Amino acid sequence: MKGSKNKKSYLIAAILIALIVAVPLTVMLLTREQPLQETPSGTVSVTVSIDCRTLFLPENAALKEQVFAALGEEGRALLGEDGTVVQNAVVKTEGGGTVLDALQSVADRYGLPVSARGGYVASLAGLPEKLTDEGGWLYSVNGVYAVVGAGSKPLADGDVIRWRYSLQKGDLDVCP
């Protein structure tokens, strides 16, 4: 009789422990947020512009001449007369797609070389990152600079994407 009572106590304790663990775990699994999954549906149309106007500021004249010498005539032509590489190019994709996909589409259309690593654009139109200590390509979507790589930023219909070359922190404010 004593052994039967111990077995019952252990069984009740085991059931209580199982409930204590299982109930919160079940609640957590049932209430956690599911990531939104975008499904390709319809055509997405975005506008892409690319500029390196900071390089054309008077205070950067010496650097601009060095870049022009390195790029040669063909490379110089890619940068435009004032640093406007591409202005308001419309890209259409069938659902899905990222900012990097849109950039690659524009680059293919205009014959611009692009080098990207894991969604980060290291070189565009012959301008590599790190011409200066803080130099590199940045992009904004609808006027907001992104904090993720271009390969991770999904496109939405009507997005306005602007790629800009920065030589130093704050110089994009000088070249609207």
Helix (H, G, I), strand (E, B) or coil at 152: helix
What is the mean pLDDT of the segment spanning 110-114?
95
What average pLDDT does this structure show over 102-126? Answer: 94
| CA angle, 102 then 105 then 108, to 5° | 150
> 132-158, pLDDT tens digit by residue?
888 899 999 999 999 999 999 999 999
Helix (H) or strand (E) holding 10: helix 2-31
The pTM for the full model equals 0.73
Per-residue pLDDT of 26-54, as tens digits, reads 334 333 333 333 434 678 999 999 999 99
- Considering the chain, what percentage of its residues have pLDDT values greater than 70? 76
Q: Which of 166, 135, 131 is nearest to 50 (CA)?
A: 166
Q: What is the mean pLDDT of the chain?
A: 82
Length reported for the chain: 176
